[in-house]
Structure 1
């Protein structure tokens, strides 16, 4: 019995040169400075480190999706309040060594603005917020930096009032267009601060899938069983790549700045093997190696799923240990009123892929505790996603990775 799987990545910072059937406005591009390119590379390196660690430590066969960009921005805000060895560990895990704090923050602001404005045909929203207990004093410099460079809203709440949970969750729901209605169930007695990032993405395919061709088709699961998900079909000039482990196709959204890259493992491989190879250097090489094929027929299952995890052990496993240790965490750049540490990093994502396009959202919440508490048509190439796969959603000019996921069963 064949065992089949695939991966999908939503990405978006590279220029797409594919032809378009209708005349449209010239595609807007993001032109990065050297420092900004370094920042995107650092972000992607962290994102793939995170994705690999989660995959390697996940024994289940469940679907997975994380948003490295969302986790990045939440941690970036926390980074601005870290000091000493706590800050050095965060810098190492985030791969931001070599940049001053001013460069670090300015680059993030420039990239955030570019991502939200590059394609008028794609909805891309990034929002940040700071929520603190009314009796917890936050240093004005910490507030100012995160308002200036991360456009964070700041709210003081009575954390003992149950309504505060609903106020925070209402903000999360609004920023994700209702896709993620809540990030916390309750506020623990020792919690004094939340730093929250929310990302919302909605893009229509540049080349639509024909709904009349969608029908149940066989999908070969890794355990040897089969299912019959509704599978879509599209034929167009797509960019394509292949090596000994997998083949990949890039499906653009809107005017072409954003795309989904679907990585389909060879029948002799599987998603775990492909994910183990995913790092910033390989990713750049694979993207650069993609070549436009005049005709590619893509069979892609519709899929919708949500994913939630606590990132504490993952971030500690990557080397960010001090921040979670109440004895040695140093966030004196946030407050001098008391000693605080990170108690939880909560991450939630959701994705829906259909004939029209993709809608995805992510929320990351960092909770802090008080330590006391024309010519002849060529033969088309077929890209049949009938087994588990990996996906990435990216922005193509910058090559920044927004979401990365593994689909074991659509």
Structure 2
């Protein structure tokens, strides 16, 4: 598994011209708390992780970690943590930064103010970008899907728009029934795409959602087993998981960053007519690598 991740990280960071992908990992341990050398060496060897022993009691400790986050997200996520709990002995950080120019840029002169329908039925005026061309496109009864390539085409943005008679929730159910189908190529067709400019920041505590999904044992103070990481006692368990994301989509391309921290304590039929996709209601998107089928970022936009 370690070697597989090492290969994946290497491939993702070779996205072709006009696209930048940076994946960074770091481990911050409380000064004086020993961890197994096999654990730290594996993280350095396979994940290129920065390993640092840090005085968690120092008032400057959060700033030291936040400086690393800020640097590795190109300033898009300047702060990740405000304080360190006295019981915490290890903080793991994972940062992903993406900056991709569209293979075909949108012309700013074609961007116009249009209405975007929100989930409560009201509308909001947004700056809607427009372009025409040939794209991978898929249309089925309940949705339209299109791929907008970055750079040389190795990476793209997949956009899936539910039909007006459907909903984002229904799309999610269909999406996760068989995620593999979304990695297949769509047929190339000519048409027009209208996409709103986006600038979104998202932050969430993930402990309770992860537990609800069935990941309960790692959070259990008594039964969690991380003895492969450090001598016991004390018994290690995950005390918090935090995720932050920033994404901006404009006429030139997409810039995105995400950081996750883990705190540990003691085929359709051909389409002859040109299509039109107008993203003027809640939709799903993914920034994907076609070489590995990996999704670097996924999200649903309910209000641009």
TM tier relative to shorter chain: over 0.9
Q: Structure 1: any 5+ residue segments left out of the alignment?
A: 1-103, 371-377
The equivalences for 1:231-242 within 5 A come to: 231-242=128-139
For residues 175 and 26 of structure 2, what CA distance do their matches in structure 1 show? Answer: 31
- Paired residue secondary structure (1:145): helix
Q: Greater relative contact order: 1 or 2 (C-alpha under 8 angstroms, separation 6 or more)? A: 1
Residue correspondence of structure 1 range 59-78 to structure 2 within 5 A: none
CA contact (8 A) 1:240 1:249 kept: yes
Could you tell me how far apart the structure 1 residues matched to 2:105 and 2:211 are?
42
**Aligned residue number for residue 134 of structure 1:** 31
Matched residue of 1:346: which SS? strand
Q: Which has the higher helix share?
A: 1
Q: 1:340 aligns with which of 236, 245, 248?
A: 236
Q: 1:115 aligns with which of 5, 12, 35?
A: 12
Structure (1 or 2) with the greater strand fraction: 2
**Residue 175 of structure 1 aligns with which residue?**
72
TM-score, normalised on structure 1?
0.71
Measured against aligned partners, the alpha-carbon deviations of 1:134-191 in whole angstroms (never above 9, x if no partner) come to 1211110100111111010100111000111000000000000000011111001111
Per the TM alignment, residue 121 of structure 1 is displaced from its structure 2 partner at its CA by 2.0
Distance 1:154 1:388, change over 3 A: same
Matched position secondary structure for 1:162? coil
Counterpart selection for 1:395 from 272, 285, 289:
289
TM-score by length of 2: 0.95
Task: Please give the per-residue CA displacement for 1:64-104, whole angstroms capped at 9, x wherever unaligned.
Answer: xxxxxxxxxxxxxxxxxxxxxxxxxxxxxxxxxxxxxxxx1
2:160 corresponds in structure 1 to: 263
SS at match of 1:306: strand
Q: Deviations over 1:272-304 (max 9, x none)?
A: 11112223x7333244251100x2110000011
Q: Does 1:404 align with 2:298?
A: yes
- Equivalent residue runs for 1:1-400 within 5 Å: 104-279=1-176, 282-288=178-184, 290-293=186-189, 295-337=190-232, 338-370=234-266, 380-400=274-294
Gaps of 5+ in 2: 267-271
Deviation at 1:219, TM superposition (A): 1.1
How many angstroms apart in 2 are the aligned matches of 1:404 and 1:340? 31
Number of equivalent positions = 298
Contact 1:241–1:286, Cα closer than 8 Å, also in 2: no
Checking the alignment, whether the CA contact within 8 Å between 2:136 and 2:185 is kept in structure 1 is no
Counterpart position of 1:7: none
C-alpha separation in 2, matches of 1:341 and 1:211: 50
Q: In the TM superposition, what whole-angstrom CA distance separates every residue of 1:315-335 from its partner, at most 9, and x where no partner exists?
A: 212222111010111111111
1:379 shift after superposition? 5.2
Which residue pairs with 1:30 in the alignment? none
Structure 1 Cα separation of the partners of residues 33 and 182 of structure 2: 48
Aligned counterparts of 1:153 and 1:286: Cα–Cα separation in 2: 34
Name the CA distance, whole Å, in 2 between partners of 1:278 and 1:317: 20
| TM-superposition CA deviations, 1:353-395 (whole Å, max 9, x none) | 000000000000000111xxxxxxx853211111111111110
RMSD: 1.2
Per-residue Cα deviation, 1:30-86 (whole angstroms, up to 9, x for no partner) = xxxxxxxxxxxxxxxxxxxxxxxxxxxxxxxxxxxxxxxxxxxxxxxxxxxxxxxxx
Between the aligned partners of 2:283 and 2:294, the Cα distance in structure 1 is 20
